[in-house]
Structure 1
Amino acid sequence: MTRVNRVLVVGSGIGGATAAYTLAKAGLETHCIDIQPVRSTVGSGICLLHNTMRALSEIGLAEPCLDSGLRFEVFKQYDATGRPLMSNPTPPGIGIRRPELARILETAASQAGAKMERGLSASAVTDRGDRVEVTFSDGREAAYDLVVAADGAYSKLREQFFGPEHRVWFAGQSAWRFNAPRPPEVDGFCLYRSPDGKRVVGALPTSKETCYLFFLENSAQHLHWPDDQLHILVRERLSAFSAPVVQDALAQVTRPQQVLVRPFDITLVPAPWHRGRVVLLGDSAHSPTPQMTSGGGMAIEDAVVLARCVKEQASVQDALAAYSKRRFERVKTIWDASLQLCKYEQEEVSNPQRSAALLLQTYQYLGQPM
């Protein structure tokens, strides 16, 4: 199999946009498509841990993220009233709003030479062995040396090339998220625990002025709520939390559109992550629960390593095999820790010290080279 010269990236989320950037910088003719017609300006925040910032620094994108987000290096836990329980230093990371991170990554990809197109999908993808033929939703046709499936947890390309057995499954939790002005005490990753230990509210800074809060809800199956009642329902669920940080943030939530709810639908595809010339990246390969706040970070690392492998290896097959080999065990370690933390939070008896210990231990593991 010859070297990669022309690549299609399907999906321009965190992983896809970063891949479009790194592959274009590596000198490849890069085309990135996304089914959404415009980039969303709606969204909460994301935590970019020290390993993610190291990867962004390697590719020259750490500074714009630091300029837009807020650096932190502490993990704090409180009870429901806001009384401190414990505080631990962590390696430095940043919080940033998801729409802002998307803007930074997509702009960088375009400036690096990637052709970015929105409102476009791949209606047919056929691997011919020496090339991948793609028919687009607007009727155009093209051929590529490599197709990167960065189309998310519900990836259609994963299902086509890897089979339905790797579909997502529900991990027993959902997250409610909303943005708020940032109080001074939200200067790191903060958790507030209910009196019975069964409910947790988190807060993360996303800039000097803003933060976002999240609440994790356990359930045996997917839950469904009326979309026009989300602002009321989130207040009901957080009524046991009298901490000023939580109540002051809730006071700003006056419309249902301000609340985002997402079930934890997860998957981890065994290595290798490629079939022929189609390769998985980010959530399409490994959609974790968010307890380690590393889903986006792992996707960014994927993109950096994939570009490295394509540059270093003599053939497509060698590059893709090296990519999976370098990524799988690291991703699996983070994926497993996230799921274990999720399971801890669903137990009848809470043990915050045990969860904190696993979280900090895995933070340290992330310090290892990707």
Structure 2
Amino acid sequence: MSRGSILIVGGGIGGLSTAIAVQKKGYDATVVELNSDVHSSVYGVGIIQPMNALRALDMIGVAQDCIAAGYPAKRWGGLYATDGTFIKEMPGTPVPGLDLPPMNGLTRPKLHEILTSHAVEAGVTIRYSTTFAQLDDDGDGVDISFTDGTTGRFDIVVGADGVYSKTRGYVVEGEVRPYYIGQSAYRVNIPLLPEIDSIILQAGPEGMAGLVPIGEDLAYLFYNAHMEAQPTPESGDDTAQKLRDYLAPFDGFMGRIRDEFIDDGCEIVLRPEESLIVEAPWHKGRIVLLGDSVHAITPHLGQGAAQAIEDGVVLADCLAEHDDLAVAFREYTDRRFERCKLIVDTSLDIAEWEMGRKPGFDNIAATDHVLEVMAQPL
């Protein structure tokens, strides 16, 4: 017998993970995704899966498929100076009792394929090319008008519709929007070289460059560039040259990557880095929020997707433990808020340090602290 029906708005990483988690707890989950198919909602090139993300994925039966399709590293990474001189090893923090790698790198399309496959196998209904037009929570359920002209009624609505969430307006009063932090991230796939066996970070004079293995023969390069104005989608053929200019001060391994692989023909993704933390409560009536809709996290710790996955796992646990939705939602927020706020705040601290506005800040110590906290129970 079903525990109830749940509509999940958004078919991204957080939405699909939540759908799997609640379906396995006995709910009937439906996901609506405005984009047209499994790949159209995928932005970026690759993704870092830290140990805590793998633990959460393991709790919904997905971790091993991600590891098999990705690059399970034996350490978190290492830090290098601009000239390529080695500075410090970053081993990562293990989760007690779990035999999982400190970090797994994976392509975003592959992760979406895995999550979608597991969701469908679990019995989740996924509807593409549609979202809600209107929500009406009458206290006993939520009536939905969909953009494709259909209607429905659900016991619970979960807003997993991203940093510019439409669902958020039904929960949070006033105008709540993310803000641009002054950095934007370049990302581009490159061949996997033997030296890229974990995250390689190389600090530059104006930003951080990094390399992440994401498969048997694939890695990606990222660079957090200081840009006062938020970039718009670029036209023309100068994106690669701009990235090469940013990487010009680098010697060592990053300089080699720049010279050999960053050319006018490579496909570069440039996205602004935005931040947001919504104060509690994250719910109102029968509607609850998760992921980027309440905590948009810049990429400096590789924790954005991890926190969305954790949200879904914890929300499913709380719903299964409490018949009273208000109690379940409060416990969910209580378990998640400080953990997510630590990630948001520390990521911003690292960004400020990279942009030269936080002298003396120890980014490695801050990263190690976050990894230690993330290893603690959910």
TM bucket, shorter chain: over 0.9
**Residue pair 2:170, 2:284 contacting (<8 A) in 1 also:** no
Alignment of 1:11-90 (within 5 A): 11-40=10-39, 43-72=44-73, 73-90=75-92
Aligned equivalent of 2:301: 292
Choose the corresponding residue for 1:267, options 273, 276, 283: 276
Aligned equivalent of 1:177: 187
Aligned equivalent of 2:168: 158
**Residue pair 2:211, 2:220 contacting (<8 A) in 1 also:** yes
Equivalents in 1 of 2:92, 2:324: separation in Å? 40
Shift of 1:349: 7.3
Equivalents in 2 of 1:4, 1:277: separation in Å? 14
Runs (4+) of structure 1 moved beyond 4 Å? 253-257, 348-351
Equivalents in 2 of 1:362, 1:308: separation in Å? 23
Aligned equivalent of 1:366: 374
Counterpart secondary structure, 2:91: strand
Equivalents in 2 of 1:348, 1:114: separation in Å? 46
* Number of matched pairs: 365
Aligned equivalent of 1:124: 134
Choose the corresponding residue for 2:214, options 206, 210, 213: 206
Equivalents in 1 of 2:232, 2:318: separation in Å? 43
Equivalents in 2 of 1:224, 1:31: separation in Å? 34
Aligned equivalent of 2:99: none
- Alpha-carbon deviations, 1:39-76, whole Å to 9, x = none? 22663111111111111112211100110111121321
The yes-or-no answer on 1:223 pairing with 2:231 is yes
**Residue pair 2:188, 2:266 contacting (<8 A) in 1 also:** no
Q: Which is worse superposed, 50-59 or 143-152? A: 50-59
**Residue pair 2:248, 2:255 contacting (<8 A) in 1 also:** no
Counterpart secondary structure, 2:139: coil
The yes-or-no answer on 1:149 pairing with 2:148 is no
**Residue pair 2:183, 2:351 contacting (<8 A) in 1 also:** yes
Equivalents in 1 of 2:358, 2:26: separation in Å? 54
**Residue pair 1:4, 1:146 contacting (<8 A) in 2 also:** no
Which amino acid is the alignment partner of residue 78 of structure 1? Y
Shift of 1:231: 2.3
Equivalents in 1 of 2:355, 2:83: separation in Å? 22
* Distance change >3 Å, CA 42–CA 278, structure 1 → 2: closer
Shift of 1:333: 1.5
Shift of 1:288: 1.1
Equivalents in 2 of 1:338, 1:176: separation in Å? 17
**Residue pair 1:90, 1:360 contacting (<8 A) in 2 also:** yes
Equivalents in 2 of 1:158, 1:243: separation in Å? 46
Shift of 1:225: 5.8
- Alpha-carbon deviations, 1:155-212, whole Å to 9, x = none? 1111343134321111121101111111111111211122xx3222111111121111
Counterpart secondary structure, 1:212: strand
Shift of 1:257: 6.8
Which amino acid is the alignment partner of residue 78 of structure 2? K
* Distance change >3 Å, CA 110–CA 257, structure 1 → 2: farther
**Residue pair 2:70, 2:215 contacting (<8 A) in 1 also:** yes
RMSD between aligned alpha carbons?
1.9
**Residue pair 1:181, 1:249 contacting (<8 A) in 2 also:** no
Aligned equivalent of 1:321: 330
**Residue pair 1:134, 1:142 contacting (<8 A) in 2 also:** yes
Which amino acid is the alignment partner of residue 68 of structure 2? D
- Alpha-carbon deviations, 1:14-63, whole Å to 9, x = none? 10000111111111111101001022266311111111111111221110
Aligned equivalent of 1:281: 290
**Residue pair 1:175, 1:263 contacting (<8 A) in 2 also:** yes
* Distance change >3 Å, CA 136–CA 250, structure 1 → 2: farther
* Distance change >3 Å, CA 245–CA 328, structure 1 → 2: same
Equivalents in 2 of 1:59, 1:255: separation in Å? 41
Structure 2 unaligned runs (5+)? 94-101
- Alpha-carbon deviations, 1:272-302, whole Å to 9, x = none? 2101111111111100111111010000000
- Alpha-carbon deviations, 1:107-166, whole Å to 9, x = none? 111110000111111111121111111111110000111100000011111134313432
Structure 1 unaligned runs (5+)? none
Shift of 1:250: 5.8
Equivalents in 2 of 1:244, 1:343: separation in Å? 25
Which amino acid is the alignment partner of residue 343 of structure 2? I
Equivalents in 1 of 2:134, 2:165: separation in Å? 14
* Distance change >3 Å, CA 188–CA 265, structure 1 → 2: same
Shift of 1:332: 1.2
**Residue pair 1:55, 1:304 contacting (<8 A) in 2 also:** yes
